[in-house]
Amino acid sequence: MDKGNARAKETGKVYLVGAGPGDPKLITVRGMECIKACDVVVYDRLASPRLLKFLKPGAEKVYVGKLPDRHTMKQEEINQLLVDLSLEGKIVTRLKGGDPTIFGRVGEEAELLQRNGVEFEIVPGITSAIAVPAYAGIPITHRDLASSLSIITGHESPDKLDQSIHWDKVTNATGTLVFLMGVAKIGYIAEQLMKHGKAPDTPVALIRWGTRVEQRTITGTLETIEAIVKAADFQPPAVIVVGEVVRQREKLQWYERKPLFGTRVLVTRARTQSSELADRIEELGGEPCEFPVIETRESSETAAVSHLEESLREAERYDWIMFTSVNGVDYFFNWLAKLRIDIRRFHNARIAAVGPKTAAALEQRGLIVDVLPVKFQAEGLLDSLAEALEAGQTVLLPRGDLAREVLPRQLMAKGLIPVEIDVYETVIAEDQDEETLELLKQGKVDVVTFASSSTVTNLLAVMRRMGVDQPEELLQQVDIACIGPVTAATAAEAGLKVTIQPNDATIDGLVEAISVSRAERKVN
């Protein structure tokens, strides 16, 4: 991000950014830089709200979106808002769906900024005219079918359409016609195209909310499409594609065939841990909504820290170190670095881990685990260690403050000496997204995932704090997916109906179980 000249710093600067068609990963690198650097983001409903999580702390959010039945803010007011914010010395990012230069009225915004001496930059975006058909399996050009295209606005009234569109020229000017914002006028558009020479059996496709979890596609011909749209109660926003390329959809559908297509999944893990689960959901065509309800941080309670320091300085006494989570590994090594304790002092200890991810975290630090259980929970670890454990051995357990007591209790029962240290503590996350909670309230979330017992209790606590009196009732309408039996038991005790639980208590297992469940729903 350029710093700009001295005057730009005094008056601010405005970035007019194309946010792409809806999928937040389709924004450009430059567009993402503008989001991360701005003091204020001005956005509308066609820009994915998931992009807002990349704002720096304290950045202001201003919604100026337009809905079919009302305008939150008139265009002239938006233009002036950009000027006013920049004259306050703020860096402003104006997020616009698709590309800002294609029916985005960016020229009007830029002109007023220029007249007021405000520095601005236009950042192109991926236009929905190209991306949305691609996500529906429709390439808008094809060597054998269409070598040219037209992008046309379909939002105006029939009178204005006739004034702005020369139907006699447009109809057969290019191989493919793409209409943006024309769902309500589809009958009139089809009528004019047939009137001016298009064959009634010309294929037509309408793609609603393309590249998003709500994407829906209907097809027909110029002769039949109006009736199909009415019968389906097909609502805007949508992209209309007219031409032979539409037939490619039968062979080239890819996005809508993904196993989690159409599935919105709430991810409750800590923000630092949620990316793996979110990425796997996206790979399978779902939409992850990150709603972290827990945060982990270095232990701060005086007695716990004192015990931790004393225990770590006795490194040579341990016969085993047992890690039960990736967090345990990360914070354990953070403490060693902070206290200047050499890992080689633990040379007497064998290493055990619960789960492949925990083992991988150790391997990244050059430590190979001696024991990895078949069942990835504390009970499974002890079963795998049965022949190696001996009474009188001392076991170091670097864990979180909310860790279950099953493992130390069973170790004591076998005559071993467990030494528990709280290397981190788990607290309720403070920064939740109101938009995501609103999706839950509106019934637009399909699955809620829980990767630990603390995410269950904290989600309910956060929802109550945000004004939901009976969160258990609200969550009855969604599938509850728990990573393992312990988490599932906590959810059940809280009054939630667990519908998805993997055989393997891993992130991959959880995602696979969700995919199987959604596939069964589609079949039934």
Q: Residues with Cβ < 8 Å from 246, sequence gap 6 or more?
A: 138, 203, 204, 205, 219
Amino acid at 221: T
Which residue among 181, 185, 422, 446 is the active-site one? 181
Instruction: Kindly state the tokens that stand for 71.
Output: 């305008």
What percent of the chain is modeled with pLDDT above 90?
71
Model confidence pTM above 0.85: no
Rounded to whole angstroms, the Cα distance separating 222 from 230 reads 14
H-helix segments, 12-91: 29-37, 75-87
Same fold, 130-252 and 296-427: no
Catalytic residue check, 370: no
pLDDT score for 4: 45
How far lies 118's CA from each of 30, 106, 504, in Å? 20, 15, 57
Task: Render 17-28 in DSSP notation, one character per residue.
Answer: EE-BSS-GGGS-
Over the stretch 445-477, which tens digit does the pLDDT of each residue have? 999 999 989 999 999 999 999 999 999 999 999
- How many helices (H) and strands (E) would you count in the chain? 21, 22
Across 111-126, average pLDDT: 95
Q: What single string gives the DSSP state of each residue in 454-488?
A: HHHHHHHHHHHHTT-S-HHHHGGGSEEEESSHHHH
Q: Would you say the C-alpha torsion 296, 302, 307, 313 has a positive or negative sign? A: positive
Q: Catalytic residue at 66?
A: yes
Output phi, psi for 242, to 5 deg: -120, 125
* Residue 357 neighbours by CB distance under 10 Å: 17
Residues 469-505 pLDDT 10s: 999 999 999 999 999 998 999 999 999 999 999 988 8
Tokens of 200: 């009634």
Q: Using N-to-C axis directions, what is the helix angle for 326-339 and 356-363, rounded to 10°?
A: 30
C-alpha to C-alpha distance for 392 and 213, rounded to whole angstroms: 56
Q: Which fold has domain 130-252?
A: 3.30.950
Q: Where are the domains of the chain?
A: 12-126, 130-252, 264-293+429-523, 296-427
- Specify the 3-state DSSP secondary structure of 56: coil
User: Closest Cα partner for 513 from 217, 341, 203, 265?
Assistant: 265
Q: Are 178 and 239 within 8 A, CB to CB? A: yes
Would you say residue 192 has pLDDT above 70?
yes
pLDDT per position as a tens digit, 349-379: 999 998 888 999 999 999 999 877 655 555 5
Q: Grade residue 67 by pLDDT with cuts at 50, 70 and 90.
A: low
Asked if 266 and 448 count as a contact pair (C-beta separation under 8 A), the reply is yes
Structure confidence at residue 159 (pLDDT): 63
pLDDT at 172 over 70: yes
How many CB atoms within 10 Å of residue 345? Answer: 15
Please determine, for residue 236, whether its predicted confidence score (pLDDT) is greater than 70. Answer: yes
The predicted pLDDT at position 355 comes to: 81
Residue of 13, 23, 39, 44 marked catalytic: 44
CB 482 within 8 A of CB 488: yes
The answer to whether residue 194 is catalytic is: no
Query: Class assignment of domain 264-293+429-523?
Result: alpha beta
| DSSP one-letter code for 67 | E
Backbone phi, psi, residue 91, to 5°: -90, 120
Averaged pLDDT for residues 234-252: 96
pLDDT at 2 over 60: no
Q: Which fold has domain 296-427?
A: Rossmann fold (3.40.50)
The whole-number pLDDT of residue 5 equals 44
Q: What is the pLDDT of residues 136-168, one digit of tens each?
A: 999 999 999 999 999 998 766 566 666 778 899
pLDDT at 160: 63
**Which pLDDT value is given to residue 379?**
58
The third-level CATH classification (topology) of the domain covering 12-126 is Cobalt-precorrin-4 Transmethylase; domain 1 (3.40.1010)
Q: At what angle do helices 106-115 and 75-87 cross, to 10 degrees?
A: 40
282 in Cβ contact with 261 (< 8 Å): no
Mean per-residue pLDDT, 410-428: 93
Contact 256, 136 (CB under 8 A): yes
Enumerate residues 6+ apart whose C-beta is below 8 A from 136.
Answer: 205, 207, 210, 215, 217, 249, 253, 255, 256
Mean predicted lDDT score pLDDT of the chain: 90
User: Would you state the pLDDT for residue 505?
Assistant: 82
pLDDT band at 506 (very low <50, low <70, confident <90, very high): confident
Shortest CA distance to 212 belongs to which of 241, 239, 183? Answer: 239
Task: Give pLDDT, residue 308.
Answer: 96
d(CA 443, CA 67): 20
Question: Could you identify the residue written with the tokens 């016609």?
Answer: 177
Q: Which residue has the higher pLDDT, 126 or 429?
A: 126
